[in-house]
Amino acid sequence: MSKNTLRIRATVLLGILAVAVSSCATTINLSAPTTLLQPAVTTLPTGTATELFGQLHSSIAEMSVALTDQDKTRAKNTLATVLNIWDALQPQISAAGGATVEQTLEDMQRIIDLATSSVERTRPADADKALRFLDLVIQSQQ
């Protein structure tokens, strides 16, 4: 191959590369929400595991009602409470020990994930499922 052919190929390759790189620009959506859900309460709830399970149950039930009533603000605030209760309850479940601790923590995390998705996606059915599954976990703890 001649030097001219190599130069032409190199120039074409650099041109294609320049076009390809410049087409990978990032688009910024300024209208997208920039805040994450922040818990309304700054201190963790206290109490025994039984009391915290009860608080969690009533909070998820309240969240389900808020979603059914299409009160997104109340549902978000209640979700923040649910997350705070879970933060306080999780170490108590771990500390209790036993053969089923890991399974209980996994089940509870699924419940919290359902509660979160119910608010994020406005799905009251997910909150209802979380409540039913929580009832089963509570029964297994007794």
31-60, pLDDT tens digit by residue? Answer: 655 554 554 445 778 899 999 999 999 999
Predicted confidence at residue 106, as pLDDT, reads: 95
Mean pLDDT for 11-38 is: 58
Listed range (8-12, 72-76, 130-134) with the worst mean pLDDT = 8-12
List the chain domain ranges.
49-141
- The angle formed by the CA atoms of residues 111, 101 and 124, to the nearest 5 degrees, is 5
Predicted confidence at residue 11, as pLDDT, reads: 76
Q: Does position 21 have pLDDT exceeding 60, yes or no?
A: no
d(CA 85, CA 27): 38
pLDDT over 70, % of the chain: 74
Q: Does residue 60 contact residue 134 with C-beta atoms inside 8 Å?
A: yes
d(CA 130, CA 112): 7
Mean pLDDT for 128-140 is: 93
97-112, pLDDT tens digit by residue? Answer: 778 889 999 999 999 9
Q: Does position 123 have pLDDT exceeding 80, yes or no?
A: yes
Predicted confidence at residue 41, as pLDDT, reads: 47
